[in-house]
Amino acid sequence: CKKDLDRTPTNATTADQAYSTATGYKQSLAKVYGAYALTGSSGSASSDLGGIDAGTSDFLRLFWSVQEWPTEEAVCAWNDADVPDFHNLNWSSSNSLLKGLYFRSIYQITVANAFIRESTDDKIASRGFTGTDATNIKYYRAEARFLRAFQYWVLMDLFGNPPFVDETTPIGKYLPVQITRAKLFAYVESELKAIEGSMVPARQNEYGRADAAAVDALLARMYLNAEVYLGTGNGKYTEAITYANKVISAGYSLQSNYAKLFLADNNVSNTETILAINYDGVSSQNYGGTTYIINAAINGAMTPSLYGVPNGGWGGNRSTSALPNMFSDYSGKTDKRAMFYGSNLVISNINDFTQGLAVVKFKNLNSDGTTPYSVNGSATNTTSGGVYASTDFPLFRLAEMYLIRAEATLRGGAGSTSSALADINILRTRAYGSANGNLGSVSLTDVLNERGRELYWEGFRRTDLIRYGLFTSSSYLWPYKGGVQNGKGAESYRTLYPIPNTDIIDNPNLVQNTGY
150: Cα separation from own chain's centroid:
10
Q: Binder to another protein among 185, 340, 373, 393 (CB under 8 A)?
A: 373
136 lies in the binding site for another protein (CB under 8 A): no
Q: Binder to another protein among 52, 74, 323, 424 (CB under 8 A)?
A: 52
DSSP string, 154-191: HHHHHTSS-EE--TTSPSSSPPPEE--HHHHHHHHHHH
Query: Angle, nearest 10°, between helix axes 417-432 and 398-410?
Result: 150
* Sign of the dihedral defined by the CA atoms of residues 297, 299, 301, 306, in that order: positive
SS3 (DSSP) at 304: helix
State which of positions 352-371 bind another protein (CB under 8 A).
352-354
81 lies in the binding site for another protein (CB under 8 A): yes
State which of positions 477-496 bind another protein (CB under 8 A).
none
Least spacing, CB of residue 267 vs another protein, in Å: 7
Least spacing, CB of residue 32 vs another protein, in Å: 9
Nearer to another protein, 325 or 507 (CB): 507
Nearer to another protein, 325 or 501 (CB): 501
Least spacing, CB of residue 234 vs another protein, in Å: 27
346 lies in the binding site for another protein (CB under 8 A): no
DSSP string, 362-388: S-S--TTSPPTTBSTT-SS-BTTTTT-
End-to-end Cα distance, the chain: 56
271 lies in the binding site for another protein (CB under 8 A): no
- Phi and psi dihedrals of 275, rounded to 5? -150, 130
Q: Binder to another protein among 121, 125, 171, 251 (CB under 8 A)?
A: 171
311 and 304 Cβ atoms separated by less than 8 Å: yes
Least spacing, CB of residue 58 vs another protein, in Å: 11
514 lies in the binding site for another protein (CB under 8 A): no
DSSP string, 73-118: T-EE----TTSHHHHHT---TT-HHHHHHHHHHHHHHHHHHHHHHH
Q: Give the interface segment with another protein, choosing from 121-129, 276-284, 423-431, 473-481 (CB under 8 A).
A: 276-284
Q: Binder to another protein among 160, 235, 324, 386 (CB under 8 A)?
A: 386
Least spacing, CB of residue 360 vs another protein, in Å: 15
State the greatest distance between any 2 C-alpha atoms of the chain, in Å, as a whole number.
85
State which of positions 241-270 bind another protein (CB under 8 A).
267
What is the C-alpha separation between 161 and 148, in angstroms, rounded?
Answer: 16
132 lies in the binding site for another protein (CB under 8 A): no
Q: Give the interface segment with another protein, choosing from 124-132, 194-202, 295-303, 472-480 (CB under 8 A).
A: 295-303
207 and 267 Cβ atoms separated by less than 8 Å: yes
Q: Binder to another protein among 63, 64, 69, 91 (CB under 8 A)?
A: 91
Q: Binder to another protein among 22, 30, 182, 444 (CB under 8 A)?
A: 30
What is the C-alpha separation between 300 and 309, in angstroms, rounded?
Answer: 10
Least spacing, CB of residue 335 vs another protein, in Å: 28
**Count of positions on this chain that bind another protein (CB under 8 A):** 120
Cross-strand partners of 396: 275
Least spacing, CB of residue 79 vs another protein, in Å: 5
State which of positions 172-231 bind another protein (CB under 8 A).
172-176, 206-209
Q: List Cβ neighbours of 512 (8 Å cut-off, separation of 6 or more).
A: 93, 498, 499, 504
44 lies in the binding site for another protein (CB under 8 A): yes
Least spacing, CB of residue 112 vs another protein, in Å: 11
Query: Angle, nearest 10°, between helix axes 289-296 and 59-68?
Result: 50
State which of positions 416-445 bind another protein (CB under 8 A).
none
162 lies in the binding site for another protein (CB under 8 A): yes
